[in-house]
Structure 1
Amino acid sequence: MDKAAENSGQLSENVVLTTATKRTAIKRKCNFMKKLKTTDALRSEYKRSDFGELVRGKYADRITEESNVVLLEPDIARAFPNDEAVNKALRYLLEVAEVSTRLINR
């Protein structure tokens, strides 16, 4: 029984040593992947003229037209805890407008 205990102890020591050795080898292999220091300058193979004119906010109008995001005034935003509350209130307002329009058109 003592030999079995000794063998299991040796086995676990070997496994630990092997794992530690593998970790060291992996660390050595990974050293080549360190990031290089870069500068903000363009690489020599690129020319600034290849990129065309830079325009700030070039797509701002298109995004505004295609977007359905609405910016609420601060006092209105305080009245609604989240988007669900805003949607519920607007749906109710549409329903009331629809009902009142039907009553007027009779």
Structure 2
Amino acid sequence: MLSEHNINDCRTLREKLIDLLTGNPGKSFTAKEICEILDIESEAEVYALIKQIARILRRKGAKVAFSKPVCRKCGFVMSKMDARKCPKCRSEWIEPAKFAVLR
């Protein structure tokens, strides 16, 4: 018989991410935090997964919400969730996007 730990290891990254976001109502996560929690190599992979699960959750009546990245130097709000540099002042001091699920 499989232990609970082994069963959890059989889940896909999408399933793990959906469980993380839906299992923590009222809490939002940055891509970096998601990487650390789910042991994902790159933040780019998290952004791709977020886009995929947004479609899945939309069909189930939920929505992936995210706060847009903000430049900590000049306050510019970026439109892309994976912004690395401020287009206005060129600062790399960016407050990252945070993701949560709304029902």
Question: TM > 0.5 between the two?
Answer: no
Structure having the larger proportion of residues in helix: 1
Structure having the larger proportion of residues in strand: 2
Bigger Cα Rg = 1
Where on the TM-score scale, by shorter chain, does this alignment land: which range?
under 0.3
**Structure 2 length normalisation: TM-score?**
0.20
**Structure 1 length normalisation: TM-score?**
0.19
